[in-house]
Amino acid sequence: MSIFNEYNPWLIGAGLNAILLTIVAFAPKKLLTLAGIIHAWILGVIIWATLGWPGYVIVAFYFIIGSGVTRIGLAQKEAAGIAEKRSGARGPENVWGSALTAALCAVGTLFVDPPMQSLLILGYVASFSTKLADTTASEVGKAYGKRTFLITTLKPVPPGTEGAVSLEGTLAGIVAAGAIALLGWGVGLISLWGVLWSVLAAFIATNIESLIGATLQEKFDWLTNEVVNIINTLIGGAIAIGLGAFILI
């Protein structure tokens, strides 16, 4: 019986994700490629088994809202050549680019004591706050940004330029980061202080990501958007963990 209990969350996660991702696979809008569905299943099982339904709510919220945001002004962005590839359908590289940091935080909770578990859970929420802020800021900026500036020089640049920022996108990103952080508080994963640290970490990390895009990304072939996303979420999670550890969770 003890063996069954130990593995039960993994079995539940496997079944639940199989059902939900089958629905996604047959949805009218293609949200994931076939390979993306397989990798999303792996991610979902990990999150359910380690953080339970509260952690799963966070990743599901990110996926739903992130997919929706990607389609804002899609026709306009496709005409301008700045839309996400495959009309926003996520592949394996997108799954792990967005969620590798979160998955590592989730798995890490299995091997540490409760105080550190709380910090890793904060990093988990903050990493998704960071990624949703980045996605929202980018997509809203490309669709509705009236004036877009390069973060390093503040000179006007076309929407979609690596390292470009806009007021509309920045504000939308802050709102998105706050929404997912508040959800994390609502399901009991983090405190209200954790909400603040998550939003602050997301804001800082997203701007660092823009700096990387403006200065380094074109210089190194290996520095793809997905790699930059991993760096971005890693920075966001690390900042939140640092704030939680040295100030107050």
pLDDT (tens digit, 9 = 90+) per residue, 15-41? 999 999 999 998 877 889 999 999 999
pLDDT of 179-224, one tens digit each? 999 999 999 999 999 999 999 999 999 999 999 999 998 899 899 9
- 23: how many CB neighbours lie within 10 A of its CB? 8
pLDDT, residue 2, reads 44
Going by pLDDT thresholds of 50, 70 and 90, the confidence category of residue 84 is: low
pLDDT, residue 165, reads 93
**Would you say residue 130 has pLDDT above 90?**
yes
pLDDT, residue 1, reads 38
Pairing type for strands 148-150 and 164-166 reads antiparallel
Q: Return the minimum-mean-pLDDT range out of 20-24, 73-77, 157-161, 230-234.
A: 73-77
User: Looking at per-residue confidence, does 9 or 71 come out higher?
Assistant: 9
Going by pLDDT thresholds of 50, 70 and 90, the confidence category of residue 144 is: confident
Going by pLDDT thresholds of 50, 70 and 90, the confidence category of residue 62 is: very high
CA dihedral 128, 16, 90, 209 (to 10 degrees): 10
**Would you say residue 80 has pLDDT above 70?**
no
Residue 164 and residue 210 in contact, taking contact as beta carbons nearer than 8 Å:
yes
- Can you tell me the distance from the alpha carbon of 235 to that of 229, in angstroms, rounded to the nearest whole number? 10
Instruction: Read off the pLDDT of each residue in 7-18 and give the average, rounded to a whole number.
Output: 91
Residue 33 and residue 90 in contact, taking contact as beta carbons nearer than 8 Å:
yes
pLDDT, residue 63, reads 93
Average model confidence (pLDDT) across the chain: 90
Instruction: Read off the pLDDT of each residue in 59-71 and give the average, rounded to a whole number.
Output: 90
Instruction: Read off the pLDDT of each residue in 71-88 and give the average, rounded to a whole number.
Output: 60
What percentage of the chain reaches a pLDDT higher than 70?
A: 90
**Would you say residue 83 has pLDDT above 60?**
no
Q: Looking at the whole model, is its pTM more than 0.75?
A: yes
**Would you say residue 246 has pLDDT above 70?**
yes
pLDDT of 166-175, one tens digit each? 999 999 999 9
Instruction: Single out the residue of 206, 184, 205 nearest to residue 195, CA to CA.
Output: 184
Residue 137 and residue 165 in contact, taking contact as beta carbons nearer than 8 Å:
yes
